[in-house]
Structure formats: structure tokens, C-alpha cells
């Protein structure tokens, strides 16, 4: 049974549709939820937490219905919002302990867990200082700590690297990755930055304008394409013509010629063609999918080939 499952989930704010018949299945792991700002990531997270009522459709988290059993779900889910959410006039220890108690932990357990998660996120002496004096990086750590204090089975992180400098981003991503892989907590990371998602996640959900673009293991997004890219200094048109004459399927792309690879034959043909024409060969490499292509293609193809959520529903292998 999936950890998170939604069926035809729709959320409208007046005339604006934030989620449009979204059907997804999420299995344990570190899951990236990518999409541009306004794609519906935050709305989806808030519905899963029971903070927002869906307009239609249904969703279950840990086999509990979000509409009817929100209270039960929330005991086992940790949430780190995108926005600031910390009072400035208490210490990190006091705040995280309080949040642990609000999650239902007894007093003593809340204190112990607080010390533990604050150490885990890398706050030491600072934990006895008031949060108002913290840097953005430290505040983000406190936000993560309060989401972890009750040892959730599922962690929902909304833009966890928001406002961090590059070093802070690296540290936060490492924390997220360790939380997911070493502690066995399923983590859903929402981000508009593909580069970050790529570094920590093993499964990807891409949404755009409230609809599912694609759901698949990360490898399939970045795997090899069936194209060989041959880059030359000049004379790319000549090379393309020569290769086409040799019976290959080719396309010219600036200084590069893209050759469809079906077997080993094109390699020899390329070598011969480049040598015969006396071209300066810069690079030969097998093309890779890039995450950016996902959105570029998605946007370009949308009018003709709209991805149907029901069929691309992500069942993980």
C-alpha cells in the first residue's frame, strides 16, 4: 500500500485551479516534488496535512483519509513550512520541546527528543539562545528540528533551502538526505530548484499548473538518450549531410550533429566522415536527459500531448 495516495485531487481558489485532478502514489523513499512557483506544491502538502480542504477528489496518507482522519495522520507526519514560523523570543530548546508536547509527547520524552534532534540538525550551544538572534541557516535547522521532534514516519519539507547561502544549502540537503536514507523516514521535498532535488532524491514527481507532469525514479529522468552528439569546430552542416547520405538519422543543433543510435554502426560512420572532411572534432558523447528538458518539453508539448495523470500515475518499480 502506498504511503501517500491521491485520486483526482482538485483544489480551486475561486477561479484559480491550484490542483487539477492530481492522482499520485508515493512509496517510501526520498521523493522530490518539483515544479515552478505556483505549480501547486504547497497546496498539495497542505491538503495532505489536512490544513486545507480539497475541492474534490480524495487523498490518503499512511492509509488514513485526509478529510476524516487528519488528526491521526498529523501525529505521524512532520511538516516544515516554506515561510518563517518561529517566535523570536524563546530559545530553540524551549520551542522545539513545546512543539514536541503539542505533538503528543510526554514532557520527559519531549525534552530528550529535543536535545537529540537539535544535535542531529547541528545546533549545539546556540540552542539556549533566543531564536530572534539566529541566522537564516540556524532558523531553517530549527524548522527541520521541530518537524522531526516527534519522530514522524513521513516528513513534508516545503522549500527547505529557502534563503540559504550555497554552503547552507549543501548542509541542509545533506541533512535531508541523511534523514531519508539513514533514519528510514520518508521525505517529500518540495522545491523549484531541480539541481537540489537531483542531489537528494531517488524518486521524482514533477507537477506543473496543478497537474502531474511525470512520476518516476530519478534515474529515468537523467538516463541516457538514444542520441550521439558530435560537436565540431565548424562544418557541422557538411557533416550532417555526409552522415545523412550514409543512411543515418541526423539533426543539426548548432555546432553539434545529433545522430540516432540504434547500434554500433554510427560510431564508425562518424569517424570516417570527420576524417574525410578534415573537421576539427571537439567532442563525441552520448546525450543525457536533463531535468530541465522535462519542463521545457512539457510546456512545448502541452497543446498536443497533455500528460494524462491517470496513465502516468507513478507506480514505482
Partner 1 sequence: MTGQVTERTTGAGEAASSIYDLGYQHYAGPRLGRRAAFVALYVESLRACFGLGRPGRAKIVPVGLLVLALIPAIIAVAVEALLGGVGGGRIRNPIRYDNYFPSIVQFIVLFVAAQAPELVGRDQRNHVLSLYFSRALQRLDYAAAKLAALVSALLILSLLPQAVIFAGKVLGATDIVAALGDNLALVPAIVGSSVAAAIVMAALALATASLTPRRAYATIAIFALFYLTISVSAVAFEASSGDLHRYVLLLAPTGALEGLTAFLFGEAPARPLSEAAIGGELYALTALVMAGLGIAVLARRYARIEA
- Site of interaction with partner 1 (CB under 8 A): 49, 51, 70-71, 74-75, 77, 79, 81, 83-90, 94, 98-99, 101-106, 109, 113, 116, 119-120, 130, 146, 150-151, 179, 182-184
Indicate the residue among 109 and 193 with the shorter CB distance to partner 1.
109
User: Where is 300: in which H helix or E strand?
Assistant: helix 291-301
State the nearest-atom distance from the C-beta of 44 to partner 1, in Å. 14
Indicate the residue among 1 and 124 with the shorter CB distance to partner 1.
124
State the nearest-atom distance from the C-beta of 142 to partner 1, in Å. 11
Report DSSP state, residue 292: H
Indicate the residue among 13 and 301 with the shorter CB distance to partner 1.
13
Q: Return phi, psi of residue 315, to 5°.
A: -90, 120
DSSP secondary structure of 73-111: HHHTEEEE-SS----TTSBHHHHHHHHHHHTT--HHHHH
Indicate the residue among 158 and 208 with the shorter CB distance to partner 1.
158
Pairwise CA distance, residues 116 & 15, whole Å = 46
3-class secondary structure per residue, 101-124: HHCCCCHHHHHHHHHHHHHHCCCC
State the nearest-atom distance from the C-beta of 60 to partner 1, in Å. 17
- Note whether 152 and 184 are within 8 A (CB): no
Helix (H, G, I), strand (E, B) or coil at 250: strand
State the nearest-atom distance from the C-beta of 110 to partner 1, in Å. 8
Indicate the residue among 116 and 293 with the shorter CB distance to partner 1.
116
State the nearest-atom distance from the C-beta of 272 to partner 1, in Å. 55
Amino acid at each position: 500500500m502506498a504511503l501517500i495516495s491521491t485520486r483526482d485531487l482538485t483544489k480551486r481558489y475561486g477561479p484559480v485551479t491550484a490542483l487539477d485532478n492530481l492522482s499520485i502514489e508515493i512509496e517510501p523513499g526520498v521523493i522530490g516534488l518539483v515544479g515552478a512557483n505556483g505549480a501547486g506544491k504547497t497546496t498539495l502538502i497542505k491538503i495532505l496535512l489536512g490544513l486545507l480542504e480539497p475541492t474534490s477528489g480524495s487523498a490518503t496518507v499512511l492509509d488514513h483519509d485526509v478529510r476524516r482522519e487528519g488528526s491521526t495522520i498529523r501525529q505521524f507526519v512532520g511538516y516544515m513550512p516554506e515561510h518563517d514560523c518561529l517566535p523570536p523570543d524563546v530559545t530553540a530548546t524551549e520551542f522545539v520541546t513545546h512543539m514536541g508536547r503539542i505533538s503528543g509527547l510526554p514532557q520527559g520524552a519531549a525534552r530528550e527528543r529535543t536535545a537529540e534532534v537539535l544535535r542531529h540538525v547541528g545546533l549545539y550551544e546556540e540552542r539556549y539562545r533566543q531564536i530572534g538572534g539566529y541566522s537564516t541557516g540556524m532558523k531553517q535547522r530549527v524548522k527541520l528540528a521541530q518537524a522531526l521532534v516527534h519522530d514522524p514516519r513521513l516528513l513534508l519539507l516545503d522549500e527547505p533551502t529557502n534563503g540559504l547561502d550555497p554552503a547552507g544549502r549543501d548542509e541542509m540537503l545533506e541533512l535531508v538526505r541523511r534523514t531519508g536514507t539513514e533514519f528510514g523516514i520518508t521525505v517529500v521535498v518540495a522545491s523549484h530548484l531541480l539541481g537540489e532535488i537531483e542531489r537528494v532524491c531517488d524518486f521524482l514527481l514533477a507537477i506543473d499548473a496543478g497537474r502531474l507532469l511525470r512520476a518516476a525514479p530519478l534515474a529515468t529522468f537523467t538516463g541516457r538518450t538514444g542520441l550521439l552528439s558530435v560537436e565540431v569546430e565548424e562544418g557541422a552542416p557538411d557533416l550532417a549531410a555526409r552522415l545523412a547520405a550514409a543512411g543515418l538519422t541526423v539533426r543539426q543543433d548548432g555546432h553539434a550533429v545529433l545522430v540516432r543510435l540504434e547500434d554500433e554502426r554510427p560510431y564508425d560512420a562518424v569517424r570516417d566522415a570527420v576524417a574525410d572532411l578534415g573537421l576539427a572534432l571537439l567532442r563525441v558523447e552520448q546525450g543525457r536527459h536533463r531535468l530541465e528538458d522535462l519542463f521545457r518539453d512539457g510546456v512545448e508539448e502541452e497543446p498536443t500531448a497533455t500528460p494524462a495523470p491517470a496513465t502516468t500515475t507513478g507506480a514505482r518499480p
